[in-house]
Amino acid sequence: MRIIEIDNVSFHYKAGTPVLENVNLNVDKGEWITILGHNGSGKSTLSKLLVGLLRAKQGTIRVANVELSETTVYDIRKKIGIVFQNPDNQFVGVTVRDDIAFGLENLQVPRGEMIERIEQYAQKVDMADFLNKEPHNLSGGQKQRVAIAGILAMETDIIIFDEATSMLDPKGRNTILSMMKQLNDEGVTVINITHDMKESLYGDRIVVLKEGRILKDDTTKVVLADHKTLEKSSLEMLLPLRVLRALEAKKVDNEKVRSYLWQLSLTG
């Protein structure tokens, strides 16, 4: 079932300098898609269009069969959560507890349930001991985990992570990724915007953006091996696949080596 349908969407901040051009993208319910692209390719802009923070200049966006418009935008926002890049600028509450509560208060979740969800999701991101802490006493990674908990607690059908792990250390990143995996297994649709090729391994599908256009939209396995596309959008191929390519260039064609290298890259 389609949950997001982006149909021929274009956008610009300033007339004459298009940021997104004729973007077509469909996302199925429960899918995990990765959006890759160089700096300024329009990834964040696309995610803002999806939650109606920006209005498309052309084309339509449908979320769960509802067309995004001025009247439907509030209902659609209840279905999509979005974790932004800079944790400092999305921390609304005076304490961690207040911040996780913010979205729930907006959704008018009853107080008793709110307290339960705060507890539950703070635990999920490993921040349960920090509930009374104020943001300026937290590290960047901790603040980002709070931001993630704040979105998870809202229990939306779709979650967009806009370079949400770029502030985290490898361990923090892995916990968040496995948490995303768990969510996805529970049926949440995940859109992960990232620069990290390894992160894309978790997803079903990769969409590559370049200068506001979709350069490639295919399964993870296909895109990862597509050196031409990756090169064009200044992304670096994963090491095992680079090795494989070098071997193939030297006409070393061993089925065992090939499958081993693939396995190596897919297990991260």
Partner 1 sequence: MKNIVIGRFVPGKGFLYRMDPRTKIISLVLLMASAFVIRNFTAMFMAIGFMALLLVAGRINIFRVLSGLRPLMYLLAFTFIFQLLFNTQGDLVVAWTLHYSPLNILMVTALVMLWFFTKRHVKFKFFFFLATLVGAVALVANLRLGPAFATGTLDIYESALTTGFFIVMRLMIIVTLSTVLTLTTKPTDLNLGLESVMSPLKVFRIRTEEMAMIISISLRYIPTLLDEANKIMLAQASRGVDFSEGKFKAKIMQIVSLLVPMFIISFKRSDELANAMEARSFVPGQPRTRLHQLTWGLADTAALVVSLLALTAVITTRVVM
The binder of Mg ion chosen from 44, 90, 184, 229 (CB under 5 A):
44
CB of 52 to Mg ion, least distance (A): 17
Calpha distance 121→153 (Å, rounded): 6
Nearest to 160 by CA among 41, 63, 39, 16: 63
| Positions that interact with ligand ATP (CB under 6 A) | 13, 19, 37, 39-45
Question: Interface with partner 1 includes 98 (CB under 8 A)?
Answer: yes
Q: How far is the CB of 190 from Mg ion (least distance, A)?
A: 17
* Minimum separation from the CB atom of position 30 to Mg ion (A): 25
Nearest distance from residue 212's CB to Mg ion, in Å? 13
Task: Find which of ligand ATP, partner 1, Mg ion, none residue 53 binds, CB within 5 to 8 Å per kind.
Answer: partner 1
> Which residues contact residue 210 at a Cβ distance below 8 angstroms, ignoring those fewer than 6 apart?
37, 38, 41, 232, 233
- Asked if residues 82 and 51 have their Cβ atoms less than 8 Å apart, the reply is yes
Partner that binds at residue 37, options Mg ion, ligand ATP, partner 1, none, CB closer than 5 to 8 Å by kind: ligand ATP
What 3-state class would DSSP assign to 76?
A: helix
Instruction: Tell me how many residues contact partner 1 (CB under 8 A).
Output: 41
Instruction: State in angstroms the smallest separation of the CB of 157 from partner 1.
Output: 14
Residue type at 100 in one-letter notation: I
Cβ-contact 189, 76 below 8 angstroms: no
Residues 117-176 that bind partner 1 (CB under 8 A): 118, 134-136, 150-151, 154
Contacts of 255-260 with CB under 8 Å at 24 or more apart are: none
Residue 268 binding target from Mg ion, ligand ATP, partner 1, none, CB below 5 to 8 Å by type: none
Binding to Mg ion by residue 194, rule CB under 5 A?
no
Going across the sheet that includes 32-37, the strands are 80-83, 158-162, 189-194, 32-37, 205-210, 213-219
Q: Which stretch binds partner 1 (CB under 8 A): 20-28, 76-84, 120-128, 223-231?
A: 76-84
Q: What separation in angstroms does the CA of 60 have from each of 24, 118, 261?
A: 10, 35, 41
- Tell me the β-bridge partners of 216: 208
The smaller minimum CB distance to partner 1, of residues 136 and 171, is found at 136
Among 200, 241, 192, residue whose Cα is nearest residue 82:
192
Smallest separation (angstroms) from ligand ATP to the CB of 131: 30
180's contact among partner 1, Mg ion, ligand ATP, none, with CB below 5 to 8 A by partner kind, is: none
Which of the listed partners (Mg ion, partner 1, ligand ATP, none) does 23 bind, with a CB threshold of 5 to 8 Å by partner kind?
Answer: none
The CA distance from 149 to 16, in Å, is: 39
In angstroms, the CA 194 to CA 199 distance is 7
Minimum Å gap between C-beta 44 and partner 1 is 10
- State the residues that interact with partner 1 by CB under 8 A: 48, 51, 53, 74, 77-78, 80-82, 84, 86, 88-95, 97-98, 101-111, 114-115, 118, 134-136, 150-151, 154
